[in-house]
Amino acid sequence: MPDPLYVNTDTGDVVVGNLYVGQNTQYASYLSYASNVTPPSADGLINGVNITALNKRTRTSYASAVDCVRTWTTRTSAADNQWRSVCWSSELSLFVAVAQSGTGDRVMTSPNGIAWTARTSAADNNWRSVCWASELSLFVAVGASGTGNRVMTSPNGITWTARTSAADNNWFSVCWSSELSLFVAVAQTGTGDRVMTSPDGIAWTARTSAADNQWNSVCWASELSLFVAVADTGAGNRVMTSQDGITWSTQTSAADRGWFSVCWAPEMSLFVAVAYTGTGTRVMTSPDGVAWTTQTSATDNWVSVCWAPELSLFVAVSYGGDTRVMTSPDGITWTVRIPASYNSLFSVCWASELSSFVAVAITGTGNRVMTSAIGMPNSKSVVKALPSQMMVSADGNVGVGTTTPLQALHVVGSGFLSGSVFATGTTPFTRMTWTRSASFSWTVPENVYRADVLLVGGGGGGGGRPANVGYGGGGGGAGALCRVVVQVVPGDVFTVVVGAGGAGTQTTGTNGTNSTVTISGGKGVITAPGGSGGRVGASGSPGTLGQGGFGGTAGTNTLAVGTLVEFIGLDGGDGGCAIPSITGTVIGAGGSGGGTMFGTGGAGATAASGAVDALTGPRTGRTPGSGGGGTASGSSAAGSSAAGAAGICIIYF
């Protein structure tokens, strides 16, 4: 046997002999002319891997792939519609999602999976599936409702046009074959015509389906020149295949599960289908679309599966159950992942250029989209900074948003830190403060993704002294306090209502009102209750002194999952009781108002005739949310108490 690589000294040629290149557990390639070296098999596979498809892709490590799907983040959806399908256009760098509900806005688009924009749909149909045809530069969506218009198309994801469907069936899935220049859609309803095809997305032709099953999903395998569709009804025949989209044949499904989605992995030469029914085996795989094998999975309601070539990873999502995401490197061994929220997810897709997954849901409040971490940083998934955006000066200072950094780190604009801040000097933050009892609005500025809200309710008014009672009133209770950290996005609107302080009276003091912060997009409300008014004394033998008002009870929130980061709620301080004189007579001071973190409440009156805020009279609450002082004892004349202070709202960002 000659050496694998040698130089023919007679001719000077470099000769390659029996040389085997690049072996590991999954991939191999060969350079050989010798007959005793085994070449790739006839189907183009080596060790079960499609080398042609593999060579077209840049790949990352399995560890990086796991990191990508270990962390998911909720995103603000354009509307709380029931989003059923999402796809990615590489050429437009655009995600498009379609919904089965909504009024005129059943489409939304995003360039990055984070910021979404509502688009006008061609009709308010029950849109179930959308796909992109690169060769036609066209999106096509199909629906399960509408009269003669169950297809819509768009060249850009923004402007949509209704198209005439081949039949008014419940069309559940559509895909594109580049090799055949053909769209294929499958339906859950119809009599013998549950397939339709189109070369352009405009003119559609009904085709005879292999069986009248409820066909939920169809995909195209370029390497096999084969369409495969799966269904959730039928007896042993819940798969059908076609090489041209016209003539279809049933295949034996691995089990009669509720098969809802199927995809093709060229690098693995493998179809994977997932189901929403079954016990422990809600996945089936096939190398050819004909022979299918069940695989063990989590028993959740799996309704969508996709393949990420760069990560060598399948990802499936579920609309219910204990877990909502599972992944597999081979379609056989599946691992559950923690989702960003437990919304009912219905579709997931992979964007190679962004190296990220996007999933959409039919439930949730303002958060019906979630994205994975970046799997493999590249020019589109990682932003490259221009000198005007980020630079390092000659003295080592780093500037972000400035070309003349004055410190080791000089940032012009807002910043976001997910961890703690440690500093030996001062750490100033921008803040907004409202202390006047009124309603205000604040819009989250650019580059701000977290806000720290401090909220205090209005303080209660002090207790007064009615005529002919003679006993002093208690101090008003302080408003409750909330400290809340929330995740936000630029453009979110905070509606701030600062609670009013309770009024001073000649009877029981008025309660302070609640302070609230409402975050737009249905993200929720933060409430800091106001304090109670101080109580009035009572005449009699013996009479009673006025009790202090109770502080506001601990604050509450209705923040959506994915918005709330941290919440602390504290009761407001109680107001003081009126006190008798040391001599045992009825002359004594009024109760002091309850205090807050900002300071004490208003002092009670020390003289029966003291006017509000006079030297010896009851004092108005001096610090935000504090209670007002009560009146003193010792006079049969009526005496007025002092008002509580308005609450406060401070937002740090």
Q: Per-residue DSSP letters for 162-198?
A: EE--SS---EEEEEEETTTTEEEEEESS-SS--EEEE
Q: What is the pLDDT of residue 27?
A: 39
Q: Which of 220, 219, 135, 138 is nearest to 181 (CA)?
A: 135
Tell which wins on pLDDT, 573 or 56.
573
Which H helix or E strand runs over 68?
helix 62-70
- Pick from 43-57, 242-256, 455-469 the range whose average pLDDT is largest: 242-256
With a CB cutoff of 8 Å and minimum separation 6, the contacts of 440 are 434, 495, 496, 497, 498, 649
Query: Which of 22-31, 96-105, 262-271, 450-459 has the lowest average pLDDT?
Result: 22-31
Let me know: does 284 contact 273? Beta carbons within 8 Å. yes
pLDDT at 104 > cutoff 50: yes
CB-based contacts of 517, cutoff 8 Å, min separation 6: 453, 455, 484, 494, 495, 496, 497, 525, 526, 649
For residue 35, the model assigns a pLDDT of 41
Do 359 and 370 touch, CB atoms closer than 8 A?
Answer: yes
Whether residue 549 is predicted with pLDDT greater than 80 in this model: the reply is no
Percent composition of the chain: helix, strand, coil (DSSP 3-state, to 5) = 0, 35, 65
- Tokens 């800091």, residue located: 528
Q: Does the pLDDT at position 540 exceed 90?
A: no
CB 46 within 8 A of CB 55: no
Inter-residue contact 640 to 464 (CB < 8 Å): yes
pLDDT for residue 405 is more than 50:
yes
The dihedral formed by the CA atoms of 489, 316, 83 and 277, expressed in degrees to the nearest 10 = -140
Query: 359: closest CA among 481, 261, 227, 482?
Result: 261
> Three-state SS for 336?
strand
Pairing of strands 409-411, 398-400: parallel
pLDDT band, residue 10 (cuts 50/70/90) = low
Say whether pLDDT at 500 is over 70.
Answer: yes
Q: What is the pLDDT of residue 32?
A: 38
| pLDDT, tens digit (0-9, with 9 covering 90-100), for 338-381 | 899 999 999 999 999 999 999 999 999 999 999 998 876 654 54
Structure-model confidence comparison of residues 57 and 343, the more confident one:
343
| C-alpha atoms less than 13 angstroms from C-alpha of 523 in its C-beta half-sphere | 25
Taking 50 as the threshold, does the pLDDT of residue 6 lie above it?
A: yes
Q: Could you tell me if 553 and 479 are in contact, meaning their C-beta atoms sit under 8 angstroms apart?
A: no
- Average pLDDT on 155-175 reads 97
d(CA 604, CA 618): 5
Q: Compute the residue count for the chain.
A: 653
304 token code pair: 């969508």
pLDDT band at 24 (very low <50, low <70, confident <90, very high): very low
10 Å CB burial of residue 457 (0-12, 13-18, 19+) is buried
Q: In the predicted model, what is the mean pLDDT of residues 134-140?
A: 97
Residue with tokens 């339709």: 196
Q: How far is CA 469 from CA 56, 420, 464, 536, 626, in A?
A: 92, 57, 10, 9, 26
Q: Could you give the angle at the alpha carbon of 101 between the alpha carbons of 96 and 104, nearest 5°?
A: 75
Domain chopping of the chain, boundaries: 5-39, 82-271+278-305, 429-653
Q: What percent of the chain has pLDDT over 90?
A: 54
305-334 pLDDT, tens per residue?
Answer: 999 999 999 999 999 887 899 999 999 999
CA distance 558 to 560: 6
Question: Residue 29 pLDDT > 90, yes or no?
Answer: no
Which helix (H) or strand (E) is 54 found in, with range?
helix 51-55
Fold observed for domain 82-271+278-305 = Neuraminidase (2.120.10)
Determine the pLDDT at residue 409: 83
Round the CA-based radius of gyration of the chain to a whole number and report it.
Answer: 35
Using left for φ > 0, alpha for ψ between -120 and 50, and beta otherwise, residue 362 falls in alpha
Query: What pLDDT score does 630 carry?
Result: 86
Which has the closest alpha carbon to 1: 24, 23, 20, 28?
20
Q: β-strand 19-21 against 409-411: which pairing, if any?
A: unpaired
* Segment 180-231, tens digit of pLDDT: 999 999 999 999 999 999 999 999 999 999 999 999 999 999 999 999 999 9
Residue 217 is predicted with a pLDDT of 98
How many other CB atoms are there within 10 angstroms of residue 385's CB atom? 10
**Distances 267 to 23, 59, 68, 357 between C-alpha atoms, Å:** 16, 11, 19, 18
Q: Please name the helix (run of DSSP H) or strand (run of DSSP E) that holds residue 51, with its range, or none.
A: helix 51-55
For 448-470, the pLDDT digits (tens) are 888 999 999 999 998 888 887 77
Mean pLDDT score, 278-288:
94
Neighbouring CB atoms inside 10 A of 182's CB total 19
